[in-house]
Amino acid sequence: MMAVVRLVARKGLRGATYRAVAAEAGVNHNLINHHFGSIDALLDATTQWAVERSIANTQLGLFVEQDERFADALIASVSTEPELHLFQFEMILEARRRPELRDASSRLYGNYVSSVKQALETRGVEADDALCSAVFAALDGLMLQFLTVGNPSRIRSAVIQVGKLLSLAVEPHNGMATPRTA
């Protein structure tokens, strides 16, 4: 999977052919074709793997603690394995051009939003999908900025601000934190 991630990060999804992936992985291209059956199946499996790895590496569960540990873990994850995150953005962008990849992109977003929801619920926040989607969208956009523009200290500060904004969006209610309504 990492061979696909590295290749796509360098060449984009259009560079992901059986032969190119095989060369990157150091295996015969027939092996990849036999195991996955299609490039789209390989990309789908790689997307799932990349999301799971990213969620674990970024320690998304720390986000709800609203301290600097999550921001540090997120910056470290993207700094250590930028290809992992670039691959996911490439998949999302290519899904715009290739509808057959949209399910993989929908699952990618769904996995992240579910992880945000699980982290919030662990903290006692009854968060709906709209709040979880908004929180993830903010973090996702900041990571895209970090990958393209850099400036880790500015991005770190912004990630911390997202956590502070979230704490303003929820308030204790009968022992449980619930989203505020206008």
How many domains does one find in the chain?
A: 1
129: pLDDT confidence band, cut at 50, 70 and 90? Answer: very high
Domain-embedded: residue 23: no
Amino acid 182 reads A
The label of the residue with tokens 């603690």 reads 65
Domain-embedded: residue 91: yes
Domain-embedded: residue 10: no
6-32 tens-digit pLDDT: 999 999 888 898 899 989 988 988 888
CB 137 within 8 A of CB 144: no
Q: Is the pTM of this model over 0.75?
A: yes
Question: What is the residue range of 115's domain?
Answer: 44-179
> Strand 170-173 to strand 176-179: parallel, antiparallel, or no bridges (unpaired)?
antiparallel
Domain-embedded: residue 141: yes
Sign of CA dihedral 39, 44, 47, 48: negative
CATH number at residue 157: 1.10.357.10
Domain-embedded: residue 158: yes
SS3 136: helix
Has residue 174 got a pLDDT over 50? no
Tokens encoding 100: 């057959």
